[in-house]
């Protein structure tokens, strides 16, 4: 957005614009939530918007006296969801026959909640295309045991 042509104060005033507030409301989607951000810059990122939904967005400015009226609304349609960001590398706890493998959840689901994680094991001397899937689910941990598939020994 662009700043208002008049911030409501004289050139010698201390009532310059302090922040902006942007608000987006779903145009027609049932179940979609409205999203509001507050920022001091002329742009901002709205988190929590649903994919492929039209939102009516408005913005207003604040100075030390208070808020302006809301701007005219603009229709913004979000894009399709994409696959999530890769989680960070897993860690494996020390132990004997059982080892807890944990990994943090994906930091960004790109508009569609993560439904499962797949854990694969491979030895560094095995080509990256030769992996074994040992887990597929929603949890972010797995207890690795002697009953899991065995990888080839290093020759």
Q: Where are the domains of the chain?
A: 19-77, 91-144
**What CA–CA distance (Å, rounded) separates 50 from 129?**
35
Checking phi first, is residue 126 left (phi over 0); if not, alpha (psi -120 to 50) or beta? beta
Q: pTM of the predicted model, to two decimals?
A: 0.51
Evaluate whether 108 touches 85 at the Cβ level (below 8 Å). Answer: yes
CATH dotted code for 19-77: 2.60.40.10
Q: What is the pLDDT of residues 45-101, one digit of tens each?
A: 887 788 888 899 999 999 888 899 999 999 988 888 788 888 888 888 777 677 788
Q: Token pair for residue 2?
A: 């662009």
pLDDT, greater one: 132 or 71? 71
Interstrand relation of 35-39 and 54-63 (parallel, antiparallel or unpaired): unpaired
């Amino acid at each position: 957005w662009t700043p208002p042509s008049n911030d409501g104060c004289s050139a010698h005033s201390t009532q310059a614009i302090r922040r902006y507030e942007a608000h987006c409301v779903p145009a027609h989607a049932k179940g979609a939530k409205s999203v509001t951000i507050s920022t001091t810059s002329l742009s901002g990122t709205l988190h929590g918007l649903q994919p492929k939904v039209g939102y009516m967005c408005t913005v207003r400015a604040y100075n030390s006296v208070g808020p302006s009226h809301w701007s005219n609304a603009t229709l913004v349609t979000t894009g399709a969801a994409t696959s999530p960001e890769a989680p960070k590398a897993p860690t494996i706890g020390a132990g004997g026959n059982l080892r807890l493998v944990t990994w943090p959840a994906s930091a960004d689901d790109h508009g569609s909640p993560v439904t499962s994680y797949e854990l694969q094991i491979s030895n560094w001397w095995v080509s990256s295309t030769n992996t074994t899937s040992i887990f597929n689910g929603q949890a972010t941990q797995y207890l690795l045991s002697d009953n899991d598939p065995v990888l080839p020994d290093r020759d």
